[in-house]
Structure 1
Amino acid sequence: MKRVLIPALLAVASAAAGAQAQGVSKTEIVVGTIQDLSGPLAGYGKQARNGMQLRVDELNEQGGIHGRRMVLKVEDSGYDPRKAVLAAQKLVNQDKIFIMAGHIGTAHNLAAMPIQFEKNVINFMPLTAAREMYEPFHKLKYSFAVPYYEQVRVMLPRLAKEKGSKKVCVHYQDDDFGQEILKGTEAATKAMGVEIAEKTSFKRGATEFSSQVAKLKAANCDMVVMGTLIRETIGTIGESRKTGFNPTFLGTSGAYTDLIPRLGGKAMDGFYAAMTTQHPYLDEASQPIRFWANKYKTKFNEDPTVFSAYGYIIIDALVRAAEKAGPNLNTESFGKAMDGMNYPADIFGSAPSSFTATKRLGSNASRLSQLQEGRWKVVADYGK
């Protein structure tokens, strides 16, 4: 009799453990995200939130994951790491989320992750391309964004050679985000056998860049690597154009957004940015993107952007892994599903990606786009 009961009891205990996983009930999977909805990256945050919500709604209309609907809990950090900590505490301890997905900001993720990890909550595909999102290794880290460091390390020598640049400079936000771009610039220039001609920095939230531009101009920089996001990119390039300073400006995926030409105007033409996922220009998009964009616009009354696509992609990746994990969804079963996860190239042009028990960055491949006549155009594709 005992030989029959013991395996049965173990099976019941295992099922109970799965049912008791934080954020997973018989009917729901609770997912959290922290976005900037009121600060300098509110444009990014609102678009990412909308893209995430669209995929969640699609999933729930289709019956959910193994009978469970997904619930998305959103908190606003205002792009302030201190507020990100408070947001993480609420999501983890009060809302009891199962997983944190698509949290925006480098310093913000670094501040929030200890709170999550203490409660065994995964940090899934954050909206930052810092290497700390997958290094050092942690079983609860999964990153999809090609590191800023790698974007600059690979693209800077290629573009400098093409342009015949002799004096490379760097202009960066003085925080974890900017430091990654500074380090990438240092690695690239070392490989090129040149010194960085000038380094200028600014505090997070800065709006005035005249002194930094004056220094870059005085150093005769002919290429400036930009550790900037939205308004810092616009402010720096705008100030440079006004003073007759026109080097080649190279940014990262952090500045790859339609908001740059929309808010900065014609002066932004010529700006380069490393990127992966492409902004969906609907008049030249494929039929699958137009279909997706129509659903997005019907729901949110605005056209989608690249950050809308990021949000959608992140939740879609989460859904695929949760489905693979099976009915007994918990942190361990989700991790096992991710250990052999392969994601194909998507409709937005993102490169294929894969994860293993030791590989927590999906892909290291980036490409290069340039603003031409107010639109991003891919000028160097993957591996070229």
Structure 2
Amino acid sequence: MRTTHTARLAAGALAALLVLAGCSSKAKDDGGDKGSAGGVKTGEGISGKTIGLGALTDMSGVYATLGKSVTQAQQLYVKQINAAGGVCGYKLALTVRDHGYDPQKAVSGYTELAPKVLGFTQFIGSPFVAAVKQRIDGQDKGLVLPQAWSATLLGSPYIRPIGSTYDIETINAIDFLMKEKGLKKGDSIGHVYFEGDYGENALTGSRYMAKQAGLKVVEQKIKPTDNDMTGQVVALKKAGVKAVVISAGPRQAASLVGVAAAVKFGVPVIGNNSAFAPQLLATAAAPALQANFYVASPLLPIGADTPKAKKLVADYKAAYPKDSLDNGVVAGWVAASAFGEALKKACAAKDLTREGVDKALLTIGAFDTGFGVSQNFTDPKSASSRESVILQPDKNAVGGMKAVREAEASSVAQGYTPGA
């Protein structure tokens, strides 16, 4: 994976912040185990009869729509668990910090919450999770279930992405384009991607799949602040690509698809799981999105025809009647549920320390999400799933998306080793 000059500068700045952050919180982190309560061992993040959990989210930046949905779904989960008696006699308390997809705010938010919580049910942004990975692994050792799917996060027993990583997801996305949308050996495929961990890990998947399938990748790197994709569309059309992968945010995807339609560039476009928000169906790009845009997702959409999906829709509507449904609700709920399952198993083992919860997650080999994909957390070096669901925007579907291909791992994805 290439490291850009911009990425190196950002990494250096984040490293400096972490040095300062570590110094300011070290005294608090050295508290050790608090002993046993009712026969259950406890430690950092548990105060009295409360288990503290953290959420580092984006409610004001490039992923604001996603962050709000993820967070509210997790707050709903906590409310319901507490109403049912909590876990092991403890009530859960979720503390939320909005970093606005800003690296300094993300690091300071982690620094503030890490000494106070047992772990994190949410941490949006692969670059930000990567920036504190060394501290999580070496010092804090609290479980983090990020809303981030970069393969660079694999290998840690404490940082556990839920679902296929971006590279695997992109391999499955291109497999769909080849099987269903006419892309074939010898063709060129465009890839528009954010600089940094997210986009570059997805690009790794494109390059690998291209090598296996005899395709050529035409690359277009962008920044999260780039919202107009006219230049990228012009370049890709000139290059004669037959399809496009976009590893960016909803704004960039809408611009790309809308501009392509305006210039009669009618190739299929597929995005990674965070490249769409249903609010886009109320914009001028809606017809083009519904006609020619797809999304590779680690889970079925919020409108899936499963009992758990239907219950989540009903419960979320009751809790947040003014807010729209989207797949951020699914992602947030599944992550909170997985953390909750680890807490329950740690309770059964009478060890609610950070180490006990980490070990408990490692015993979960087939977590039923209720959204079509089983998750296996037993091997930190592997993604918890290699399957992807292919979705398509649909204004008539609950949550604005429908599944056009059920959960599937392509043969190339099954044989692929992230980082190899």
Q: TM-score scaled to structure 1, two decimals?
A: 0.88
The equivalent residue for 2:286 is 265
Q: Residue 325 of structure 1 aligns to which amino acid in structure 2? A: A
Contact conserved, 1:143 with 1:360, CA < 8 A, in 2? no
- Quote how far apart the aligned CAs of 1:185 are: 0.8
CA contact (8 A) 1:141 1:360 kept: no
CA shift for structure 1 position 151: 1.2
Instruction: Classify the secondary structure of the residue corresponding to 1:102.
Output: strand
Aligned length: 365
Q: CA RMSD in A?
A: 2.4
Match of 1:143 in 2: 161
Is there any run of 5+ residues in structure 2 with no aligned partner, and where? 1-32, 411-420
Shift of 1:367: 2.2
Establish whether residue 163 from structure 1 lines up as the match of residue 181 from structure 2: yes
Contact 2:143–2:357 (CA<8 Å) still a contact in 1?
Answer: no
Distance in 2 (CA, whole Å) between partners of 1:316 and 1:132 is 24
**Deviation of residue 273 (structure 1)?**
1.4
The share of aligned pairs that are identical, in percent, is: 23
Q: Does 1:378 align with 2:403?
A: yes
Matching of residues 170-319 of structure 1 within 5 Å: 170-196=191-217, 198-263=218-283, 264-269=285-290, 270-281=292-303, 285-286=305-306, 288-301=308-321, 302-319=323-340
| Contact 1:88/1:116 (<8 A) preserved | no
Bigger-Rg structure (1/2)? 1
- Contact 1:249/1:272 (8 A) holds in 2: yes
Letter of the aligned partner of 1:142 in structure 2?
A: R
Aligned partner of residue 368 in structure 2, secondary structure = coil
Residue number in structure 1 paired with 2:131: 111
How many angstroms apart in 1 are the aligned matches of 2:140 and 2:81? 25
Shift in Å, 1:376? 2.6
Is the Cα–Cα contact under 8 Å of residues 50 and 92 in structure 2 kept in the other structure?
yes
Partner of 1:336: 359
Residue in 2 that maps onto 1:127:
147
In 1, distance between residues paired with 2:34 and 2:248? 51
Cα gap change, 1:186 to 1:63, in 2 (>3 Å)? same
How has the CA–CA distance of structure 1 residues 167 and 25 changed in structure 2, closer, same or farther, with 3 Å as cutoff? same
Residue 6 of structure 1 is matched in structure 2 by none
Moved more, 255-264 or 161-170: 255-264
Structure 1, 109-118 or 241-250: larger mean CA deviation: 109-118
CA contact (8 A) 2:54 2:96 kept: yes
Aligned CA distance change for structure 1 residues 91 and 358 (closer, same or farther; 3 Å): closer
1:348 aligns with 2:368: no
The answer to whether the 8 Å contact 1:19/1:25 transfers is no
CA contact (8 A) 2:57 2:124 kept: yes
| 1:51-106 deviation digits (Å, cap 9, x = unpaired) | 0000000011111111100000100110122211011111114xx11102221111
Alignment partners' CA distance in 2, 1:13 and 1:308? 35
Structure 1 residues 311 and 358, CA gap change in structure 2 (3 angstroms)? closer
- The answer on 1:30 being equivalent to 2:52 is yes
For the residue of structure 2 that corresponds to 1:253, the secondary structure is: coil
Q: Distance in 2 between matches of 1:286 and 1:341?
A: 22
3-state SS of 2:261 partner? helix
Q: CA deviation at 1:335?
A: 2.2
- Aligned equivalents of 1:76, 1:265: Cα separation in 2: 29
